[in-house]
C-alpha cells in the first residue's frame, strides 16, 4: 500500500538548509512530498545538497543568499516564486554563533549574530508574507533555541537573538492569523550537530547532566516537530514555541 505523502504539491523554502538541522528538515519535508528551495550563503554548498535530493527524485533547487541582507531575501523570494510558482512553507533555520563571555564580546560578534539569527528571520518573513497572504495560506516555522528562554553563559548574543526570534514569532502569528498563516517556533536544546560535536567531553557531560532523558537530541528529532508544524495537523496551532530538549527546560 502506498503511503500518503501529506506535503505533496507544497513548496518549502529552508534557509540554512544545506547542512545539519536544516538538511534534516529538508529530508523530512521531501519524504512527505514537498518541493525544496534550499538557501545558503554559499551556493556551491547548497547545490551539493540539492544534487543529492535531485538524484533521489526530489524537486529541489539551490539559492544563494546572505539572510542578513533584505535585498538578498527579496531577490530569493522572487527567484523561488519564478522557479516554483508559490511558497507554502518557510523555515527560518539559518544561524551562527560567536560565543564568548559578554565582557570579552566584541561589538562585531554581537552585531553578526543578531544580523543573521534575528534580522535574517525578519527579512525572510517580510519578503515571503505577501505571496502567502495572497493565497491566504502558509506555514512559517522559526528555529529558536532553549537558550532564548533560559539564557546561557557565554552566549549573550546568541540567546538574545533567539529570544528575539520568539518575540517575533508571537507577534507575526497575531498579525497573520486572519490570513490563515500559522507562525510557530521550535526551541532545540542539546542536539547532535557539527557545532556541538566541537564541545569538550566536560562540556558535553555538563549538558547531559541537566537533561532528564540523559541523551542528546538528533536533527531528526527537530525535523519531526517541524514537519508537524508544516502539516495540516497544526492548522489550529499558531504563536507557539515547542521545546525539543529532552526535558532540559520545563
- Give pLDDT tens digits for 110-131: 999 999 999 999 999 999 999 9
* CA triple 150-152-158, angle to 5 deg: 95
Distance of CA 218 to the CA centre of its chain: 15
Please pick, among 158, 190, 227, 236, the residue that the annotation labels catalytic. 158
Element (H, E) at 185: strand 181-188
- Give pLDDT tens digits for 153-201: 999 999 999 999 999 999 999 999 999 999 999 999 999 988 777 777 8
Is residue 143 within 8 Å of 169, Cβ to Cβ?
A: no
Predicted local distance difference test score (pLDDT) of residue 196: 79
Annotated catalytic residue 227: no
Beta bridge partners of 12: 36, 89
pLDDT cut 70: percent of the chain above it: 99
Which candidate, 203, 86, 215, 219, places its Cα nearest to that of 153? 203
pTM of the model: 0.97
Amino acid at each position: 500500500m502506498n503511503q500518503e505523502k501529506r506535503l505533496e504539491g507544497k513548496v518549502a523554502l529552508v534557509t540554512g538548509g544545506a547542512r545539519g538541522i536544516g538538511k534534516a528538515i529538508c529530508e523530512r519535508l521531501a519524504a512527505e512530498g514537498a518541493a525544496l528551495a534550499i538557501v545558503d550563503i554559499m551556493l556551491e554548498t547548497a547545490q551539493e545538497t540539492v544534487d543529492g535530493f535531485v538524484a533521489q527524485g526530489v524537486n529541489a533547487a539551490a539559492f544563494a543568499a546572505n539572510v542578513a541582507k533584505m535585498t538578498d531575501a527579496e531577490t530569493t523570494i522572487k527567484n523561488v516564486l519564478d522557479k516554483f510558482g508559490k511558497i507554502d512553507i518557510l523555515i527560518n533555520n539559518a544561524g551562527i554563533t560567536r560565543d564568548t563571555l559578554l565582557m570579552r564580546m566584541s561589538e562585531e560578534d554581537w552585531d553578526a549574530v543578531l544580523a543573521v539569527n534575528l534580522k535574517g528571520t525578519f527579512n525572510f518573513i517580510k519578503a515571503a508574507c505577501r505571496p502567502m497572504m495572497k493565497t491566504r495560506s502558509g506555514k512559517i516555522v522559526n528555529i529558536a533555541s532553549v537558550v532564548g528562554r533560559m539564557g546561557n553563559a557565554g552566549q549573550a548574543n546568541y540567546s538574545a537573538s533567539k529570544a528575539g526570534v520568539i518575540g517575533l514569532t508571537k507577534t507575526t502569528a497575531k498579525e497573520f492569523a486572519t490570513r490563515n498563516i500559522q507562525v510557530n517556533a521550535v526551541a532545540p536544546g542539546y542536539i547532535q550537530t557539527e557545532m556541538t560535536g566541537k564541545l569538550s567531553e566536560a562540556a558535553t557531560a555538563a549538558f547531559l547532566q541537566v537533561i532528564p532523558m540523559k541523551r542528546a537530541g538528533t536533527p531528526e528529532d527537530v525535523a519531526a516537530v517541524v514537519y508537524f508544524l508544516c502539516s495540516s495537523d497544526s492548522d489550529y496551532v499558531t504563536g507557539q514555541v515547542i521545546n525539543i530538549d529532552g526535558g532540559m527546560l520545563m
